[in-house]
Chain A
Amino acid sequence: MGINRRKFLQRGAAGAALFTILPRNVLGRMNGNKEFIAPSDQLTRGLIGVGGIGRSGSHFISDQNCRMVAMCDVDQKHLDSAFEAAKKNWNETVKTYHDFRELIHDPNVDIVHIATPPHWHGIMSVEAANAGKDIFCEKPMTRTIGEGKRVEEAVKRNGRIFRLNTWFRFKDTFYGLGTDVKPLKKLVDSGKLGWPLKVRISGATGFTWKFFWVGKENLEVQQVPKHFDYDLWLGPAPFKPYNAHRTHQTFRGYWDYDGGGLGDMGQHYIDPVQYILGKDDTFPVKVEVDAPQQHSDAIGTWRSVTYTYEDGCQIILEGEGYESPGKVPYIEGPKGKVYKGFECTIPNVQEIINEMPDPEPRNTDYLDCVRNRRQFALNESNGHRSCTIVNMGVCALRLNRTLHFDPKTQMFIGDDEANRLIYQPMRGEWQNYI
């Protein structure tokens, strides 16, 4: 049945009589009323990486809309524990894999869920797209700008549905900001704040940069645990002698795998700003950093990272302990400011917003998008854009200088070294994958 299922999904929902295509709101209503979903209508998911975010409550799920059928990890302990949990939680005997390539090519898997450290996201997404799978990828989208371009290309080339997993651009209170994004978007669109705008992502506006994610220098060489395939964990990353601090959870403190608090939280915080400012089709043209010199391997902290767009809009990231003093606006324009909790200098702002139309509807049901082959609201294109902003900051921090970016070519201007950080060589066989 596996092969037939796959064919069915590759050809898209329209091929099946069950799916006379309706707009998603109608379909959503229909599905919402259903008690039971036929197996042919059920999607399946394979999860790569079951140690961290993959094992968290919101991701370690299986239901009649989307069944978890396979899992993969290079730490046998994580894999064993996840296998048992799947049995216990959903009475499901999932296939387990050590090598993600086998999971991706498992014909029973429709959606590949990538929950690994970021240095794998690019290769796995491209491989899944090439294998005709749809992709649900955790943030940050990719560790380098170059990998992001490749993912965008591979997803389009293979007609896949890609979701980058952060969600504040369409739902939930936005971390400590005390409001969701919708009223902010409407306020900005109203023009009442003026233009250009300055957005401050700072402890003072409700965001923490998780400076506990720093690396350690002078790591001693340790024995690799027997249950852990360090070589496959590293994959495309340069080989460095094993120390446990490089891996599980604390990997975020090393440039080879992630980008510290900026790398790991940055897309959560910056992606909604791209949406609010209406910048989904472009990039900032300049990034400046104020930071202590960074180590070549272990990530440190920083004081500020400032992005400037061509029209003068700015995103300013303020490091922990370096927040602007006093009352700090989240968005500041020449005509007004908006603070945490949607406190605003513009009188009667709520009424102004009420009088405006809602923002354009977006496709925010991923499974529905998979079934109907519609692009998800946060996808390979706008996801790549917001992730690129994070990665621009990472490059500037590592080089400790101001960088200028060309949104058209997606390369830094007049800085070959910075451009070498855009395309970083992959180790060994992995250079053939992306």
Chain B
Amino acid sequence: MRKFYSIILSALLLMTVALPGIAQDERQRKPETIVQDVLAQVPVQKQADYNREMEDLAKGAPATVEILCKMLKPVEKAVNNKVEYAISGVVNYACANTKYKAAVRQGLEASVASAPDAATKQFLQEYVRFIKDGRAEIPAYKNHAGAEPYAQQWDELKAAGANCAPIVIKALKSDDRALRMQALKFANNYADAAFVSQVAKAYNSLSTDAKNDVLGWIGDNKTITQLDLVIKEIQKGKGTNAMAIETAGRLGTATSVDALIAALSTDYKAEATAALLAFNGNINERVTTALKTATGDLQLALLDIANTRRIKSASPQVFELINSSDATVAAAALKALPGVVTKENATQLAGMMDKASGEKAAIYQQAFTASIKGMNAEEQYKVISSEIQKASNKARFYPALAATNTDQSVADLQAAWQGGSTEALAALQKSSNYKAAAPLLAAAQKGDETSLKTYVKLINANEGITKRVRLLDQALPYAKSADAKKVMLSSLGNAANRYSFDLAAKYLDDKDVNYQAAAACKNIASKCKADIDYKKLTESLNKASAIYKAHGGADDGYAVDEIKKILAEVKPGEIYKLTDEEKKAGYEILFDGTNLDKWVGDKKGYQVINNEIVVSAQYGSSGNLYSAEEYKDFVLRFDFCFTRPGVNNGIGIRTPQGVDAAYHGMCESQILDHDDPIYGGLAPYQVHGSVYGVIPAKRIKHKPLGQWSSEEIRVKGDHITVIVNGEVIVDGNVREACKGHNVAPDGGNSNPYTADHRNHPGMFNKQGHIGFLGHGEGMKYRNVRILDMSKGKKGKK
């Protein structure tokens, strides 16, 4: 019988699934229940969930909607947000899923009259408007203030549409540029070749101003069929030449290049140069040809263009003109050289650079560097190092050498700098190879801020946040000028962690750079406010906010808003107290959030931030924090939290300080985010909680990163119990686990009796410290307390 029902039931379920849109709730809920269920979900976070929740409401309409509307309170009671989410949500949903529209609208319309006050009524009316039938209303355009004469022409233009050419021509004859521009702008909609030609027929009868307008308009519309007119105006225009030149550049056809080149010899050289530089097409061949015969100013202008537009085909002429007897031409050719050279010129340029007189060397350096650009870095290095052998002015090759960014180039330059070459250091400052960082830092230490800036650029590009901040901290003392400090602060601002915050905050009182310090603090806090000490954070951000307010630029108000938001989201940490049960049992607090007075060891790697012990590898800490006292039998309770995947730490039990507690203490109970995929091959005696290398633990699933777990470790004699979030994961006796052989009976290094086959000489320690055994940043401890079960019985060392 039972089986039979279940078949019917599944069939029914299947039918319901197969028939979406049945106007009744699958779960047979009453409208009131549906409303309550949805209200518990709003605002819905994901679109799919949102659609499902709103569909539930829509299916129950109009009843659900009416229930919701009745829940609206007068606004001064200020509690309507969830209902508002639900009503706006169901209307939005029904508008897109129109089969529900009528019912939702019905519920809404029925409720408007009984809205409790004007504001809620208006809210409902807005949604009635949204869900109305029919197309959206487009209100008629209103010419409220009624201006003349432009509106009149506008109406005429619109009425004429594609036939507006006569109106445009009429406007062009006006002396009012605004009228002309309005007509031309409108005509853009129809300005094909035929239309433009119609207007251009009137060109000759127009004023100079209007002619200029038409020329600009031809450029706007790229009407190449009017090229003849434009070229004619370049050559023969009166007051229209400059505009014609600009238009010719925008039209960009081959024939206009010659006209523009010719214009280089006129009063409009600047305009023609600009037009050729921005010319919309290929000018290389024409410029090269023109350069062959050009003289005087034209020659100079063409050299300039060949350089800027990288016209390689002009390089033979340019090389020839370097030797011109006319000094002006020779100088212009030399200046143009870097723009036109190719790798075929490399050897020739290397020789010229080596032999060049002092003031010309720089431009040859540029040209040589440009010539080898087309090779890959290794080829470049090969060419340079072979040329440098032959050269007498070796330092002249350094910029090109640095530009290869090869490891070898850095090594060569470093050696040259150490040999006393300042040019080599200057070249290193241009390198983007990270190997240059070391020599640059050395130079920075000697007071060279340019090196410092490049150094910072390199670490920005190559280091992750933690290391970058550490390196910046080390380099900060070398930044003496405001300029250098700004570079440091900008880098700190982009490397958000609590250390960079502290470092940047120190500059908030430095009036030369306090604005940059404020920006750095704000940027860091916006990314990691929770990691920063509450007191430091609030003090520094309040300072930063005042600095922004005083600065008063356009974006400063935004920054003040942002700081306000950050400050609203942080709160001071909690002080932990013993529970009544713990008090009664005789527990003692080892860390309540305020200080590490009951602890010794690495207090740099273990810092109190917002009343939590934060573990970090910053500044290469030696790693372990120990209880000041030693303990025999005890119960240790604490909370832990991982903030980075794969974090590894451990609890040392009855251990001396400064040794590996897993072997020289009684044991180490593992703290490990073993859920991280990097730990796929973990042995059971290595997972979280395990007595490392000795007793396996039950493998638990950790809470998500950032959430706290509680742990308890009980140690009595040789017995150890580990409980995480109330679940016992280890409960065993170390002596039994190794059958009494904590070290190999044969005195060797391999111990067949322990799980990890290693000796654990400290296993039978009678007492020792409790230790947090650090293996890098990314986790936190809090609320550490202990029950010392040997109190009064133990003899202190």
Residues of A at the B interface (CB closer than 8 Å) are 10-15, 20-23, 25-26, 52-53, 55-59, 105, 126-127, 129-132, 146, 150, 153, 156-159, 210, 212-213, 217-221, 238-241, 249-250, 289-298, 300, 348, 351, 354-355, 357-361, 372-375, 398-401, 411, 415-417, 419-420, 422-423, 425, 431-434
Contact = CB atoms under 8 A, between A and B. Distances in A.
A293 B44 contact: yes
A296 B310 contact: no
A293 B278 contact: no
Given A56-B554, A159-B179, A239-B122, A23 B243 contact: yes
B310 A218 contact: no
A433 B144 contact: yes
B23 to A, nearest CB: 22
Interface in B616-666: none
25 contacts: A15-B175, A15-B177, A23-B243, A53-B554, A56-B552, A56-B554, A57-B552, A127-B145, A130-B145, A131-B145, A153-B141, A156-B154, A220-B78, A221-B78, A289-B47, A295-B85, A296-B87, A296-B123, A374-B216, A398-B92, A411-B136, A420-B130, A420-B136, A422-B136, A433-B144
A129 B339 CA distance: 49
Contacts of A292: 43-46
Interface of chain A, helix or strand or loop or mixed?
loop
B78 A417 contact: no
Contacts of A425: 129
A291 B553 CA distance: 32
B88 A295 contact: yes
B246 A150 contact: no
Given A23-B242, A146-B138, A217 B84 contact: yes
B675 interface: no
Contacts of B212: 21, 23
Contacts of A13: 177
B480 interface: no
Given A241-B76, A357-B280, A420-B132, 20 more contacts: A10-B176, A10-B178, A11-B178, A22-B239, A23-B212, A23-B246, A132-B150, A158-B147, A212-B561, A212-B562, A212-B564, A240-B122, A241-B75, A296-B87, A348-B373, A361-B274, A401-B47, A417-B96, A422-B136, A431-B139
Contacts of A131: 145, 147
Contacts of B297: none
Nearest to A175: B555
Nearest to B73: A218
A14 B175 contact: yes
A162 to B, nearest CB: 11
Contacts of A105: 145
A355 B242 contact: no
Interface stretch (B180-188, B391-399, B469-477, B570-578): B180-188
B95 A126 contact: no
A35 B175 CA distance: 29
B748 interface: no
A156 B138 contact: no
A59 B554 contact: yes
Contacts of B85: 293, 295-296
B708 interface: no
A238 B120 CA distance: 12
A411 B239 CA distance: 45
Given A12-B178, A220-B76, A415-B96, A360 B147 contact: no
Given A295-B88, A355-B310, A12 B45 contact: no
Contacts of B123: 296
B374 interface: yes
A381 to B, nearest CB: 9
B746 interface: no
Contact of B43 (A210, A293, A373): A293
Interface centre among B47, B212, B271, B277 (most CB of A within 10 A): B47
Contact of A240 (B119, B271, B310): B119
Contacts of A422: 136
Contacts of B180: 373
A400 B47 contact: yes
B679 interface: no
Interface string B265-301: 0000011001001111100000000000000000000
A156 B246 contact: no
Nearest to A157: B154
A357 B278 contact: yes
Given A12-B177, A21-B212, A420-B129, A432 B142 contact: yes
A374 B80 CA distance: 52
Contacts of A295: 43, 81, 84-85, 88
A372 B216 CA distance: 12
Contact of A12 (B87, B88, B176): B176
B453 interface: no
A158 B277 contact: no
B178 A57 contact: no
Contact of B554 (A57, A212, A293): A57
B134 interface: yes
Nearest to A153: B141
A372 B277 contact: no
A415 B88 CA distance: 16
A126 B151 CA distance: 13
Contacts of A361: 246, 250, 274, 278
Contacts of B239: 20, 22
Contact of B177 (A213, A373, A416): A373
Contacts of A57: 552-554
A218 B120 CA distance: 12
Given A218-B81, A354-B310, A422-B136, A159 B181 contact: yes
B771 interface: no
Contacts of B147: 129-132, 158
Contacts of B150: 132, 157-159
B136 A416 contact: yes
Given A348-B373, A416-B134, A432-B144, A26 B96 contact: no
A415 B278 contact: no
A105 B81 CA distance: 42
A357 B50 contact: no
A141 to B, nearest CB: 17
A26 to B, nearest CB: 6
A131 B145 CA distance: 6
Contacts of B179: 12, 159
A417 B185 contact: no
Given A416-B136, A423-B136, A127 B144 contact: yes
Contacts of A355: 309-310
A348 B76 contact: no
Contacts of A432: 142, 144
B209 interface: yes
B79 interface: yes
Given A13-B177, A374-B216, A401-B96, A56 B553 contact: yes
Interface string B83-105: 01101110110011000000000
B176 A217 contact: no
B208 A221 contact: no
Interface centre among B146, B154, B177, B562 (most CB of A within 10 A): B177
A417 B93 CA distance: 10
B137 interface: yes
Contacts of A150: 141
Contact of B154 (A14, A58, A126, A158): A158
A25 B271 contact: yes
Interface centre among B143, B155, B208, B274 (most CB of A within 10 A): B143
A101 B88 CA distance: 35
Given A53-B554, A423-B137, A432-B142, A159 B182 contact: yes
A357 B278 CA distance: 5
Contacts of B309: 355, 357
Contacts of A400: 47, 50, 89, 92
A39 B215 CA distance: 30
Interface in B112-141: 118-119, 122-123, 126-127, 129-132, 134-139, 141
